[in-house]
Structure 1
Amino acid sequence: MTFANPAALWAFLSIFPLIALYFFKVRPQKKSTSALFLWNQIFEEKKQNGLFKNLRDLISLLILLLAFAAIILAMAKPTINWDDQTQNLVIIIDNSASMANLEEGKSRLDLAKARAENIVKSLSSSQTALITSISDSLQINVDSTSNRRSLLKGIDGIAQSQAPLKSQELSAITKNKGIIPNSRFIFISDSCFQGYQETAELELLKIGSKTSNIGITAFDIRPIPGKQNQLGIFFQVFSSYEQRQELELHLAQGEADQIVKIIPITIEPGLNAAKVLYLKDSRYGAWFLKLLVSDSLASDNIAYAQVDPPSPVRIQLDLDKNEAFFQRCVDSFHSAGQVMKAVNQSPEIIISSNGKNTGVNKIIFAPKGKSPFWEGDASPLESATPRVLLADHPAIKFCPLDTLDFEGAQKISAPENSIILVESTDHTPLLYKTTVDNTTAFVINMDPAKAQLYFNIYFPVMIYSLSYDLIGRDTLKKSNYLTGEILNISSPQKLIGPKGPKDTINNLAKLNEAGFYSITSDKKEEQIAVSLNNKFESRIFNTLSQSTVKAIDSSFPISDALMILALVLICSEAMLYHRRKLG
């Protein structure tokens, strides 16, 4: 037996004053009486009952001593360790999207919390528990403690998340189990997440049974490049039903009840093949895809998407010759998908043949003379055999530049802060990216006409890739994000979610709710869509996962038993004292 609070045992020293106090007798007060014979009978009776009286007093003393000892031992918190090792618990509760699945009127999260509460109630007084919840990230709800009230309150405070569970978080727990030694890690989950095998090092307490659910696992909608007033719609669904289902999908725009198209669909068991539809419509803004079904998980029955009007990269041409080839290249991208647009004012990028720094990002062909974007006076380079250094760089990964002829290259040097993508065999930079006074430029060290670049199939690809890399824009803006994703928000911007303003930490915001978000600033307001769209969370029941949790020892706490014993003894002594008073 061990004691969690051994200092309380010093209270046993107070037993000696208690015994002394018990035997302390008050000197009787003398009173005069007129007749002694009236007291003789009473004296005789007291002599006959003296032995019983002394025995009764001794029993009362023993009862008080036992009650006092029980209270002191309870304060010391004794524990019997049969295996000489006390194992504390780390309880991890899955509160991801699939845990909202309803079973007999209760969510799986409620069932998991109930199981966790039962475990906490069975803890011995010397055991501690740490309560955590996990979905897209790990949250510590209650630090390691033996206080049951705090543990139960922490479990009750775990809220349902709309984000899927990230197995990387479980991997981190597994790798760092040694931080909390002598502990058992109990994971309470339905195992409906990608990478559920990561629970192998944890004791899995599986929640949930096989139920029926159909969910939208993918949704995308975009304008068709080169075709006006036409949208492409992509979606995919998953079904845990054992039979084929005939249902309807409602496509709505603007508001969830403004139906644009009703899509009849036959859904097979399991993950269905993706479908692509085309719709004659040119409306931008919010789009909804709703699955008309009453099943166990509601959050995957609707998906959201945002279609924004095209925002082409504004490009200005500043060339000495052959400007028509570049003009045709930009116009082709504009007519195909409105991803580029030739402008004369307020450009985002200038395609130029001079090295002047005008404060606008540039793509410079055929460098000549002096420029802040290169060092040395440009002079003809005798041999310009290319050698690609960074083939995976976004600006060139789709262009096999080692097959191009860098005819007309000049003998120049790149500034120290440059990223050299292609160089010649004598280490002369042929294509590099550099920044001067907050202006970034790509320098292509070749004469496009001499190198016959205009007639090469990769000419427009190069212009497109270099332009989008310069402005830091994705080639295609997402029509929707997934719950749990992290969004980068610049400091002047504010993010407002479906339930109100969202906090940002280091300009990062977590998209933890499905619906539409607004990104506002002084200049403009932008809207993005967020959906669950996760086939693992929609699966509802993972047949490949089994509970691995071992039996959890439970016993009535010894401290509580000692306190109950003390109360019983004190009540017994009170009854004896009452009988003595009544004679």
Structure 2
Amino acid sequence: MTLTSPAALFWFLLAIPIVVFYLLKIRLRRVPVSTTMFWNQIYEEKKPRSIWQQLRHLLSLLLQLLFLALLALALTDPLFFWETNQKRRLVILLDHSASMQANDVSSSNRLDAAKDDIHDMIRTLRSRDDMALIAVGATAEVVTGLTGHHRTLHRAVDNIAPTDQPTDFNEALELARSLIEGHPNGDIVLMTDGGFAKFEELAAQEQVFTQLYGKTDTSNIGITQFQIRRNLMDPVGYEVLVEVVNQSDKAAETRLEMELENDIVDVIPLKLEPNQTWSKVLEYTSSTGGILTATLDQEDALASDNEAYAILSQLRPQEVILVSEGNRYLEQVFNAIPLVELELVNKQPKFVPENSILVFHRQTPDTIPSGNVLVIEPISSTNLWTIGEKESSPLIASQNKESKLMAHVRLDNVLLSEARQIELKTEIEELASSVGEIPIFFSHEDDYQKVIVLNASLEEGDLPLRTAFPILMSNALNWFSGTESEFLESVATGSVKQINVSRLEPHQAEPTSTTTPIEASTVASSERVTSKVTKIRLTSPEKTEEELIAQNNQLWLGPLNQVGLWKLAAIPSSTEIMDDSNSESADTTASKPDTTIEIACNLSNSRESDLRVAELSDSLRKLQQAGFSFSPFWFYLILFATIFTCVEWYLYQRRWID
């Protein structure tokens, strides 16, 4: 046996005063009495005793000395030779995913029950034992490294917060094995509810013990999919993809309620069979946009999958200036697109409002201005291309199906009356071309302008009569306005997403207060210097804040660990603005950027929504088989000392000892 604290043996010296006080002769007090009737009886109980007579009742003394011996020996923290030779190294993998928040256990939830067990395991650690703690969600996080300090371990366990992430134990197990590698008595303990893929396979590995939390019959209904997007055919309309799963062996009824900015959109009653998945695409209309919330009117063991969020993009009016001598097809198609404010002119305007779309039909300037420009049926050369000869009845041979400008569009069966040979002077994205490799539909984009060209006549042929034509124009307007990039899908917890934060970047004003001169637009664009936003403030649904760094307006975000709305905001910093004699009113005319970017985050994980815990097979090593429940030897010494104290008190009360 080895003593961890041999200096505690000095406590045995307390036996000397105990024996001295026990043998000390007690001087009787002199007290006058009124009668001697009971004197003999009292004298027998309290008569003076000599030193040798004090030893006639040794049981009391022995019990007191035994109590001292047990207490002093416990303070030395003794270790048996097998404890010294078998130093333990434990790595605890604690699952703090969404399903561990289920309240189907005696504690407040599964995670708290697991924490209580870890606290008990920490108390059983011997002086030379080490323990490491790893919190497991979508990623593995080392909460504390190998240590035997109980207070540090207890504090680390208490600091583990619940998350709404899924569970991935693969990385955590690799990390745990690196911590016990080469140690003869290293063990890994999985503390989880088993709600992840390949659980049985991972739990069956060598040196792995498992403790499961939860019940095998816990029922739950959850929203496992919730996405929203604008209808490409009807910009005012939007489509909602929603999926609800009944993770239960019993039929259930509930209601799905959807609200857009606190206004009720729909209430759908649901009757779900056991283990049924209900999925549907719903269509609604709204020109305002905002936060769409889906809620299940159901109280169950897990609350994080009873709500889901999605962001419906705001629709902004688009000002379209049509430069044409008149074309009823173009006028009708632009008037039919919602939120388009059409202005008809017969020649190129001298000024155009910022962010407007300039459409040239059969009229093209020598220099294509900066900004958003749509050219239909070009008949003259510009700085971007040179016009050649006409070609009659061109046939579409290829089209770029991957481009968003060609979404829901097929031109291979469209009859075109004529197109022109075009020699390009810049790089383009070819969207559709003819058999003779004539570019029929193409786009060009640089730092200063967006240009789309439709090289086809609208007077003859059936393109204006096809449904592809309004869709083509709608796609073009969406591309100009950036609507296609405003679609922010609802992300799943635990995922990583790249966010473009350029919308948070304040832009310098143009030389005029309300309009931009086309003649000077190229120069103005080249001289424009915008401030670079590098510091971004991330606010969680629980209002906690974190500072992030964005590079080139791109921010990698995640893994997100909570269901709800996350917000990104620019942190004010010094900006670099170029000295321009024509920009004296820049402070008052600068375009106001978006103050925040909102990101909807949902659980969207059917494994986490399934709270039914599988029973451990007999082949798996359970936590009870690991022997972690044995307390150190000093604990039992203290326990015996307490028992002997109670025995001594009982014997004294029964007058069996003095």
Task: Please state which band the TM-score falls in when normalised by the shorter chain.
Answer: 0.5 to 0.7
CA distance in 2, matches of 1:228, 1:444: 22
Q: Which aligned pairs between 1:488-499 and structure 2 lie closer than 5 A?
A: 488=499, 489-490=501-502, 491-492=504-505, 496-499=539-542
Are the equivalent residues in 2 in contact too, given 1:239–1:267 (CA < 8 A)?
yes
Cα offset for 1:159? 0.1
Cα offset for 1:357? 3.3
CA distance in 2, matches of 1:291, 1:265: 10
Give CA deviations for 1:115-168 in whole Å, capped at 9, x if unaligned: 44556666677775543223344333224555554344323211011x23165x
Are the equivalent residues in 2 in contact too, given 1:367–1:410 (CA < 8 A)?
no
Change (3 A) 1:431 1:211: same
Give CA deviations for 1:478-513 in whole Å, capped at 9, x if unaligned: 585544454724454765444326435333445543
Secondary structure at 1:474 match in 2: helix
Return the match for 2:562 from 513, 516, 534.
513
Cα offset for 1:389? 7.2
Are the equivalent residues in 2 in contact too, given 1:174–1:201 (CA < 8 A)?
no
Q: 1:112 maps to what in 2?
A: 114
Q: 1:190 maps to what in 2?
A: 193
Cα offset for 1:100? 0.7
Change (3 A) 1:264 1:346: same
Secondary structure at 1:378 match in 2: strand
User: How many corresponding residue pairs?
Assistant: 481
Q: 2:330 maps to what in 1?
A: 326
Return the match for 2:374 from 351, 363, 382.
363
TM-score normalised by structure 1 residue count? 0.63
CA distance in 1, matches of 2:447, 2:218: 62
Cα offset for 1:101? 0.5
Gaps (5+ residues) in structure 1? 1-66, 565-583
Gaps (5+ residues) in structure 2? 1-72, 344-351, 506-535, 571-591, 638-658
Q: 1:411 maps to what in 2?
A: 422
Change (3 A) 1:434 1:195: farther
CA distance in 1, matches of 2:177, 2:270: 51
Are the equivalent residues in 1 in contact too, given 2:91–2:131 (CA < 8 A)?
yes
Secondary structure at 1:325 match in 2: helix
Q: 1:214 maps to what in 2?
A: 221
Cα offset for 1:104? 1.7
Secondary structure at 2:143 match in 1: strand
Return the match for 2:300 from 295, 302, 316.
295
Q: Which aligned pairs between 1:287-436 and structure 2 lie closer than 5 A?
A: 288-304=293-309, 310-311=315-316, 313-318=318-323, 320=324, 323-334=327-338, 342=342, 345-353=353-361, 354=364, 356-374=367-385, 377-380=386-389, 388=398, 390-403=400-413, 407-413=418-424, 415-416=426-427, 418-422=428-432, 429-436=439-446
CA distance in 2, matches of 1:301, 1:219: 12
Are the equivalent residues in 1 in contact too, given 2:389–2:420 (CA < 8 A)?
yes
Question: Which stretch of structure 1 is more off in the superposition, 138-147 or 101-110?
Answer: 138-147
Are the equivalent residues in 2 in contact too, given 1:372–1:436 (CA < 8 A)?
no
Secondary structure at 2:368 match in 1: coil
Cα offset for 1:439? 1.7
CA distance in 2, matches of 1:201, 1:517: 39
Give CA deviations for 1:444-474 in whole Å, capped at 9, x if unaligned: 4444556643233322232233443444433
Cα offset for 1:197? 8.1
Q: 1:99 maps to what in 2?
A: 100
TM-score normalised by structure 2 residue count? 0.57
Cα offset for 1:97? 1.6
Secondary structure at 2:474 match in 1: helix
Are the equivalent residues in 2 in contact too, given 1:191–1:542 (CA < 8 A)?
yes
Change (3 A) 1:365 1:495: farther
Are the equivalent residues in 1 in contact too, given 2:213–2:613 (CA < 8 A)?
no
Change (3 A) 1:223 1:128: same
Change (3 A) 1:473 1:227: closer
Are the equivalent residues in 2 in contact too, given 1:252–1:289 (CA < 8 A)?
yes
Question: Which stretch of structure 1 is more off in the superposition, 398-407 or 289-298?
Answer: 398-407
Change (3 A) 1:284 1:100: same
Secondary structure at 2:483 match in 1: coil
Do structure 1's residue 540 and structure 2's residue 611 form an aligned pair? yes
Secondary structure at 2:315 match in 1: coil
Q: Which aligned pairs between 1:63-212 and structure 2 lie closer than 5 A?
A: 80=85, 90-102=91-103, 103-117=105-119, 129-145=131-147, 147=149, 149-161=151-163, 163-165=164-166, 167=168, 170=169, 181-182=181-182, 186-193=189-196, 199=202, 203=208, 205-209=211-215, 210-212=217-219
CA distance in 2, matches of 1:403, 1:226: 20
Q: 2:543 maps to what in 1?
A: 500
Change (3 A) 1:409 1:278: closer
